[in-house]
Amino acid sequence: MNQQTFELNAGDKILLAIYELDRKNNKGKKITKEEMAIKVWKMFPTDFCIKGYPQYPNADISKYVTKLFKNNLLKGSFYNYIITPKGKEYAKALFLNKKPSKNEMTTSSREIEVEIRRIKGSNVYKIFKNGETNFLESDLYNFLGASSRSIAESNRTGFTSRYNLIVKEVLPFCEKNKEIDPELEKIFELSKILIEKFNHLISKKKAKYD
């Protein structure tokens, strides 16, 4: 990695460690919390050691990982990580000594296309096209591509990761291109109905990450 001309925060350093592990792993293989803790300690020993014991890595860094999930740079759980296409783009910029803005980063078009195809094939989208608007909680999960179990998890990273991907990446794309593709407009309309109806549920589950 090039000599940094700007200061990396703790989340940046963790993401770089996961990025390095991902480059050496088999495609799609999850990275464990233990692997990440050791790697980031080796890369930045003074920042990620146990206080008073520089020879040992500090694994108590979940608060920094939470922000990476929130920004859709990681997905998975607090114990197994997969770096997202957006995370790879961000980490690569850091690796090349270019400080990117998380707000300006865009998920790869391929990931957006995959999600749009999934939504178009979902049951909730099909019934919405037929005029149904009386949705159930299960329809929200169906739209987001999340399981009902993900919202019941203690850390809820699975639900939050899916929500952030759809709301922060896919829906802005749909809104921007809805005049070109009427189906993107339908997806955007459906999202507004679901989010408004289940906002109380979404807000409750997202509160831990805001």
Please tell me the total count of domains within the chain: 2
pLDDT (tens digit, 9 = 90+) per residue, 81-102?
888 888 888 888 887 776 665 5
Residues 181 and 139 both lie in one domain: yes
Residue 153: φ, ψ to 5°: -65, 150
Residues 91 and 115 both lie in one domain: no
Task: Give strand pairing partners of 83.
Answer: 74
Residues 148 and 88 both lie in one domain: no
Residues 28 and 77 both lie in one domain: yes
Residues 59 and 90 both lie in one domain: yes
Domain range enclosing 205:
109-209
Indicate whether 88 belongs to any domain.
yes
Alpha-carbon distance of 173 to 113, in angstroms, equals 10
pLDDT (tens digit, 9 = 90+) per residue, 34-89?
999 999 999 999 999 998 898 999 888 877 888 888 888 888 877 888 888 888 88
